[in-house]
Amino acid sequence: MKPHRLVLLGPPASGKGTQGQLMAEAWHLPITSTGEILRRESTLGTPLGLETDRYTSLGQLVPDEVVIASIADWLDANADAGFILDGTPRTLGQATALDALLEKRGTPLTDAIFLDVPPAVIEDRVRLRLMCARCGRTFRLGWQVQEKTAACPQCGGTLERRKDDDPTTLAERMSAYAEKTAPLVQFYDARGLLRRIAADQAVEKVFAQIAAALGRAEAEKEAAPRP
Ligand SMILES: [Zn+2]
């Protein structure tokens, strides 16, 4: 298989975190997100981290060039054999800068996976979503866990509602997404990279669609040992 160099796009609660983890595990790809990259620079106290702290302490957005420089650091350390960027880039500015950065490295994106979920479904999902305070995995109430007070099925940690998931915050995140991130769908479509996935389905069906879109499904069938 040629290496996959992927961005994973989609509105809040479209399943990026879950699908990203599945893809990373199945295909041995390093995965990260803007938040994770910026937190790492900040924890390590790098010059970029100090700059990031300066903006966040003022409650301001970290500028695109700082985000992209941090991504460049991460790629240098992790991305020799492909990568997944989960929910990154978030703006057209970041997408354009990321394109230029990857072009310079000789490692252009191979696919932009768009998890397409209607807004009404998202509201429902968020209302029923619980996150593990220990391992960060999310679960759906009434489906993967039966009670609000259940322990994490993966690690036994405490499940709680994410702060981002209260209705006011969700409305803000949805409008920020519509304004800043939704235009990326067209951006990647114009470059022939967009793989639109109908993500309003069970986790394993969504994953199967992604595998098919990346040409993995056939490849894996052929590679599987014959009886
Ligand atoms: Zn857990």
The answer to whether residue 48 is domain-embedded is no
Q: Residue 19: inside a domain, yes or no?
A: yes
What are 206's two structure tokens?
Answer: 């969504």
pLDDT at 140 over 90: no
Provide the residue type at 113 as one letter: I
Q: How confident is the model at residue 222 (pLDDT cuts 50, 70, 90)?
A: low
Is residue 113 situated within a structural domain? yes
Q: Is residue 91 part of a domain?
A: yes
Identify the pLDDT of residue 219. Answer: 62
pLDDT the model gives residue 7: 97
Residue 61 domain flag:
no
pLDDT for 50: 93
Percent helix, strand, coil in the chain, to 5, is 50, 15, 35
SS3 190: helix
pLDDT of amino acid 221: 65
Residue 182 included in any domain: yes
Cα 174 to chain centroid distance, Å, stands at: 16
30 CA to centre of ligand 1 in angstroms: 20
Mind telling me the catalytic residues? 16, 90, 129, 162, 173
Alpha helix segments (H runs only) across the chain: 16-27, 34-44, 47-57, 64-78, 92-105, 119-127, 167-176, 183-190, 203-213, 216-223
pLDDT, position 96: 95
Q: What's 215's domain CATH number?
A: 3.40.50.300
Judge whether 89 lies within some domain. yes
pLDDT per residue as tens digits for the range 164-197: 788 888 888 888 899 988 999 999 999 999 999 9
Distance, CA of 226 to chain centre:
35
Question: 119 CA distance to ligand 1 centroid (A)?
Answer: 27
Q: What is the pLDDT of residue 94?
A: 92
Structural domains in the chain (count): 1
The boundaries of the domain holding residue 12 are: 5-30+79-223
Q: Which of 163, 139, 33 is nearest to 89 (CA)?
A: 33
**CA of residue 157 to ligand 1 center, whole Å:** 5
Instruction: Give the CA distances from residue 202 to residues 74, 198, 206, in Å, rounded to whole numbers and listed in that order.
Output: 32, 10, 6
pLDDT above 90 covers what percent of the chain? Answer: 57
Residue 138 CA, ligand 1 centroid: distance in Å:
8
| pLDDT value, residue 9 | 96
Grouping H, G, I as helix, E, B as strand and the rest as coil, residue 18 is helix
Predicted confidence at residue 225, as pLDDT, reads 61
- The verdict on residue 110 lying in a domain is yes
pLDDT at 168: 85
Q: Which of 47-51, 208-212, 213-217 has the lowest mean pLDDT?
A: 213-217
| Nearest Cα residue to 93 out of 114, 115, 112, 65 | 65
Q: What pLDDT, on a 0 to 100 scale, did the predictor assign at position 27?
A: 94
CA distance 167 to 152: 24
* Averaged pLDDT score across all residues of the chain: 90
Pairwise CA distance, residues 145 & 152, whole Å: 8
Q: How far is the CA of 159 from the centre of ligand 1 (A)?
A: 8
CA of 34 to the centre of ligand 1 (A): 22
- The pair of three-digit structure tokens given for residue 95, joined into one six-digit string: 């997408």
pLDDT per position as a tens digit, 36-84: 888 889 999 999 999 999 998 888 888 888 999 999 999 999 888 899 9
